[in-house]
């Protein structure tokens, strides 16, 4: 295992006004490993992912990507200098994000969605960007859909395009926020299959999910979040087989029945 | 020789000239309204210190009668700013101002209707706020508001008849000229009304068809 984790979250806190949503969350994600995050709705899972790639600014704590702090570096007299937005943008592209609602851009074709960031953020040549996009679409088994517009795809296909779009930036890690929760049950498998393949290829991933089977057999570690804190964590066998926390036990028994 | 032939058909050259001026005034006013509306909307939404100014202008343009604005631009602005120096310019400026107020609010509604997730997807792949705006927010907004934009153009066409009051030689002015030569208003004004109806119908049908075509191309439902 590497000395420096791909993602290190240290005592992360987030308030929305008086509401404390994250109350000191710390964990590491090692390179090539998959961490599944489970927990009841409202426990702060989305907020945690969004703080990691800074769609939300954490109230306190720090996130390190390959050892580099996302927040400002601490100066000699202990003050933190907030990073300029351009720096945050640069670091953000190292984290691919997949949303529950897909969030494809409806006015761009599938290929257009995938090459957008390589073209404009990494400033690749169009030809190279298209070659890269085709590679990414092949990984999600959608090679033949490049010229379609998103509205003509099924939910499962849309989510796979969203995965390809994130992969095209060749991120250091992928963050999934309930990627199958807005899909019809018969469409979840095609997305989960792609995610399992990514995991098998050694992609570093954090996956917020209600798919207990995926969490159990595709991840290296499972975190159970409750009220903005990690209530239980460990290898899947341990969390699913012999959870220490009563709340986790209850949550799982409801999910697995 | 029927009245229609004598009063309308034989004067068609004059009426076409008038229509050409109408189209010209409306096209310039429309372009100004789109640019001005977008500017007002963006300032209102994103430039904190100038926000009250933008709101005041938008409300002023929307709340004053178009006739008052026309008089105001035509008679007051030259005193204050030394511009506009032709009636023609005063005409499209007044029309453009009013529509820019309306379009500013249309654009704002359209921008607010772009799902937040679409922007966040842009940020998450490293796009800058400017790139997200230009590549995602504005195109999606235009797609939503296209029908309202077309509608605003027809409003401009109808309001544009007022520029005849400050002697811009538009279709309305030419028609009134003909009326005042023979004092036989029935055929001339009926024909003029028909031309306006035809023009507005043509523009709104073509505009709607174009907007729907775009939406269908993207696999979206017609607006
Ligand atoms: N932008 C926000 N403003 C205020 N409250 C928020 C915001 N985002 C999330 N919350 C609140 O934070 C809590 C956790 O939300 P979330 O992270 O979405 O939970 P989960 O993803 O686990 O369902 C919820 O109570 C939610 O209402
Ligand atoms: Mg959530």
Mutation test residue for ligand 1: of A40, A44, A178, the one with most atoms within 8 Å of CB? A44
From-to residues of CATH 3.40.50.300 in chain A: 1-94+173-257
> What residues in A contact B139, CB-CB < 8 Å?
107
Within 8 A by CB and 6+ apart from A169, the residues are A93, A94, A96, A117, A118, A121, A122, B125, B126
Cα(A153) to centroid(ligand 2), Å? 24
A14-32 residue pLDDT tens: 999 999 999 999 999 999 9
Cβ of A103 within 8 Å of Cβ of B117? The answer is: yes
Distance CA B100, CA A179 (A): 42
Residue B102 pLDDT exceeds 70:
yes
Model confidence at A255, pLDDT cuts 50, 70, 90, reads confident
Residue A46 pLDDT exceeds 90:
yes
Distance CA A124, CA A192 (A): 30
The residue-averaged pLDDT of A178-189 equals 94
Cβ of A149 within 8 Å of Cβ of B218? The answer is: yes
Model confidence at B223, pLDDT cuts 50, 70, 90, reads low
Query: pLDDT at position A236, please?
Result: 96
Query: pLDDT at position B1, please?
Result: 66
Please give, rounded to a whole number of angstroms, the shortest distance from the CA of B118 to a CA of chain A.
5
The residue-averaged pLDDT of A144-149 equals 94
B20-57 residue pLDDT tens: 999 999 999 999 999 999 999 999 999 999 999 999 99
The CATH number corresponding to A1-94+173-257 among 3.40.640.10, 3.30.70.100, 3.30.70.1400, 3.40.50.300 equals 3.40.50.300
B182-205 residue pLDDT tens: 898 999 999 999 999 999 999 999
Percentage of chain B lying above the pLDDT 70 cut = 99
Of the candidates A93, A101, A117, the beta carbon closest to that of B117 is on: A101
Q: Which residues line ligand 1 (CB under 6 A)?
A: A 16, 19, 21, 39, 41-47
Closest residue by Cα to residue A142 from A128, A159, A124, A157: A157
Report chain A's mean pLDDT, rounded to a whole number. Answer: 93
Q: Are strands A205-208 and A173-177 parallel, antiparallel or unpaired?
A: parallel
Query: pLDDT at position A79, please?
Result: 73
Cα(A16) to centroid(ligand 1), Å? 8
Number of A/B CB contacts below 8 angstroms equals: 80
B128-183 residue pLDDT tens: 999 999 999 999 999 999 999 999 999 999 999 999 999 999 999 999 999 999 89
Neighbouring-strand partners of residue A97: A175
Of the candidates B117, B124, B218, the beta carbon closest to that of A151 is on: B218
Cα(B85) to centroid(ligand 2), Å? 60
Ligand nearest to the CA of A179: 2
Please give, rounded to a whole number of angstroms, the shortest distance from the CA of A173 to a CA of chain B.
12
Distance CA B94, CA B100 (A): 10
Model confidence at A106, pLDDT cuts 50, 70, 90, reads very high
Q: Where are the domains of chain B?
A: 3-218
DSSP A52-88: HTTSS--SEEEEEETTEESSPPB-TTSPBPPPPHHHH
Ligand nearest to the CA of A22: 1
Per the model's pLDDT, the better-predicted residue between B86 and A91 turns out to be: B86
Within 8 A by CB and 6+ apart from A136, the residues are A114, A164, A165, A167, A168
Nearest residue of A to residue B220, measured between CA atoms: A151
* CATH 1.10.3720.10 holds for B3-218: yes
């Amino acid at each position: 295992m590497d000395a420096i984790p791909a993602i290190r979250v240290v005592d992360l806190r987030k308030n929305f006004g008086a509401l404390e949503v994250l109350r000191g969350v710390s964990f590491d994600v090692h390179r090539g490993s998959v961490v599944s995050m489970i927990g009841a709705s409202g426990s702060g899972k989305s907020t945690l992912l969004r703080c990691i790639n800074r769609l939300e600014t954490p109230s306190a704590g720090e996130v390190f990507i390959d050892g580099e702090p996302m927040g400002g570096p601490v100066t000699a007299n202990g003050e933190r200098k907030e990073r300029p937005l351009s720096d945050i943008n640069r670091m953000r592209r190292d984290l691919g994000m997949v949303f529950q609602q897909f969030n494809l851009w409806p006015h761009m074709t599938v290929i257009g969605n995938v090459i957008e960031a390589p073209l404009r953020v990494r400033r690749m040549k169009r030809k190279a960007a298209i070659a890269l996009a085709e590679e990414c679409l092949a990984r999600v088994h959608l090679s033949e859909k490049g010229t379609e517009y998103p509205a003509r795809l099924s939910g499962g296909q849309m989510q796979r395009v969203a995965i390809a779009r994130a992969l095209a930036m060749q991120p250091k890690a992928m963050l999934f926020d309930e990627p199958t929760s807005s899909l019809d049950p018969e469409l979840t498998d095609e997305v989960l299959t792609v995610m399992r393949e990514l995991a098998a290829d050694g992609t570093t991933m954090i996956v917020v999910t209600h798919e207990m089977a995926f969490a159990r057999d595709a991840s290296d570690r499972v975190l159970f979040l409750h009220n903005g804190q990690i209530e239980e964590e460990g290898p899947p066998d341990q969390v699913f087989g012999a959870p220490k926390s009563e709340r986790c036990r209850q949550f799982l028994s409801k999910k697995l029945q | 020789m029927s009245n229609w032939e004598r009063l309308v058909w034989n004067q068609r050259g004059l009426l076409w000239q008038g229509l050409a001026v109408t189209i010209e005034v409306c096209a310039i006013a429309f372009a100004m309204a789109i640019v001005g509306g977008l500017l007002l909307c963006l300032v209102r939404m994103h430039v904190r210190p100038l926000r009250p100014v933008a709101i005041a202008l938008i409300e002023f343009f929307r709340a004053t009668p178009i006739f008052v604005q026309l008089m105001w631009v035509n008679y007051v602005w030259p005193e204050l700013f030394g511009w506009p120096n032709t009636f023609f310019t005063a005409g499209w400026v007044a029309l453009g101002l009013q529509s820019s107020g309306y379009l500013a609010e249309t654009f704002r509604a359209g921008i607010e209707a772009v799902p937040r997730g679409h922007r966040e997807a842009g940020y998450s792949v490293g796009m800058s706020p400017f790139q997200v705006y230009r590549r995602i927010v504005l195109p999606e907004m235009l797609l939503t508001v296209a029908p309202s934009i077309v509608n605003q153009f027809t409003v401009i066409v109808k309001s544009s008849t007022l520029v005849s009051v400050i002697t811009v030689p538009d279709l309305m002015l030419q028609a009134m000229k003909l009326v005042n030569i023979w004092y036989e208003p029935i055929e001339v004004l009926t024909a003029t009304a028909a031309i306006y109806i035809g023009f507005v119908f043509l523009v709104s049908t073509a505009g709607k068809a174009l907007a729907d075509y775009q939406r269908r191309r993207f696999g979206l439902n017609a607006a």
